[in-house]
Amino acid sequence: MSAEALSFLVFCGGMLVLMGIGLNMAFALLLTGAAMAWVLGFWDTQLLAQNMVAGIDSFPLLAVPFFILAGELMNAGGISRRIITMAQAWVGHIHGGLGFVAIGAAVLMASMSGSALADTAALATILLPMMRRHGYPMHRSAGLIASGGIIAPIIPPSMPFVIYGVTTNTSISSLFLSGIVPGLIMGAGLVITWKLVLRGMDLAGEPPRPMAERLGETGKAFWALLMPIIIIGGMKTGVFTPTEAAVVAAFYALVVSLFVHRELSIPDLHGVLVRAAKTTAVVMFLCAGAQVASYMITLADLPGVLTGWLGPLVQHPRTLMAVMMVVLVLIGTALDLTPTILIFAPVMLPIAVKAGIDPVYFGLMFVLNGAIGLITPPVGTVLNVVAGVGRLSMHQVIKGVNPFLLCYLIILVLFVLFPSIVTAPVAWMR
């Protein structure tokens, strides 16, 4: 057996075994990388340590802790709640209005935090009790909120885009621009699917709000609505980089929460910072472990091995893209978004580039596929969040998310068949 084939077997077998016994993903990546180093004859503890440090010693990666902090501050400081209240004032009276509130709020909040888990938790905490009181089917409501939450990794600012850009050396600014139109299409898809789900249901609605009240709620959400304009506008005009945008977002959320809304006190900051630090530590340790595995993957030339296997498809980019998306859908059922990016993006991107596929388009499709994995059983991290907040069984949430999951898969196929839906708006915005 060749060294490349043995390395591939060690990588795949090691990851499957270590995940199967329930080992933390960061440790699984680290141990798999160490095993590959031993097989390849590169065993050196100093080399492993250097790669771990290199995995997190990155200026663009600094955006991750600040976007996480911005999301925590938004939830603690009332910014997220004001977005939901404003959406409720405008569309809450429509048949199934609370569902449309969830979709609108999900799109708006996605343009501020970039975290699927943070947005889903905020939406579920506020909206699920209201939907229960108004007689909404809870499994469908939970499925809708989970599906709305995964728009966050697509619309900028997006933490997964930052991690993907750092891992594959792809322009983060271009990735951010690529997510705007697909994110809005995802929101529109949820609106259509929710309308179809509602057919024949008799749901209690709210009375229409007077225009003065609607404008009043919009005024209360003014500072929240200003946040994405500052972040995206600043990056588009070159005032600051994506990393600096994360700092601006966190500082803006802090100032608004402390001094404008005054729902966050100085003592409350301790809890916010601790939660943000814990989440950051998890993500960064994943990046450190993934760098070890990624370095050994490069030494073993696994992308070359995979290219050899997929060689005939390189001449047919669309078919190759479809095959890769199917593989990633299957991977997404077992792996979270961040590990999927760290493990498979460095392997798959060179093959896509060799086939002539735009790396920014491939990055968008990769992250979109991984985001869909967040609502795909059996793992479905976002499904677990909704089930926990709503006190529902996992079976109920999985049953409720199916129509929206189908909607997203149709959108994924649409983007594979018509790449210009993604690439044309990016070229125009550049």
**Residue 5: its pLDDT value, please?**
67
**Residue 112: its pLDDT value, please?**
85
**Residue 169: its pLDDT value, please?**
92
**Residue 103: its pLDDT value, please?**
96
Residues 6+ apart with CB under 8 A from 82: 217, 220, 221, 224, 261
- Structural domain of 288: 3-429
**Residue 294: its pLDDT value, please?**
81
Indicate if the pLDDT at residue 115 is higher than 90: no
Looking at the structure of the chain, the number of domains it has is 1
Identify the top-confidence range among 108-117, 122-131, 309-318.
Answer: 122-131
Q: How confident is the model at residue 7 (pLDDT cuts 50, 70, 90)?
A: confident
Q: How confident is the model at residue 157 (pLDDT cuts 50, 70, 90)?
A: confident
**Residue 14: its pLDDT value, please?**
82
Question: What's the mean per-residue pLDDT of the chain?
Answer: 89
Q: Per mean pLDDT, which range of 261-270, 327-336, 392-401 is the poorest?
A: 327-336
Indicate if the pLDDT at residue 359 is higher than 90: yes
pLDDT tens-place string over residues 47-94: 889 989 988 888 888 888 998 899 899 989 999 899 999 999 999 888
Rounded percentage of the chain residues whose pLDDT exceeds 90: 55
Residue that wins the pLDDT comparison between 313 and 277: 277
Identify the top-confidence range among 63-77, 196-210, 286-300.
Answer: 63-77
**Residue 1: its pLDDT value, please?**
55
Indicate if the pLDDT at residue 238 is higher than 90: no
Indicate if the pLDDT at residue 2 is higher than 90: no
Indicate if the pLDDT at residue 426 is higher than 70: yes
**Residue 208: its pLDDT value, please?**
87
Q: How confident is the model at residue 204 (pLDDT cuts 50, 70, 90)?
A: low
Indicate if the pLDDT at residue 166 is higher than 90: yes
Rounded percentage of the chain residues whose pLDDT exceeds 70: 97
Indicate if the pLDDT at residue 34 is higher than 70: yes
Q: Which residue has the tokens 């007689």?
A: 135
Provide the CB-side half-sphere exposure for 385 (13 A, CA).
24
**Residue 4: its pLDDT value, please?**
63
Give, rounded to a whole angstrom, the gap between the first and last alpha carbons of the chain: 48
**Residue 199: its pLDDT value, please?**
87
Q: Residue 203: is it exposed, middle or buried by C-beta count within 10 angstroms (0-12/13-18/19+)?
A: middle
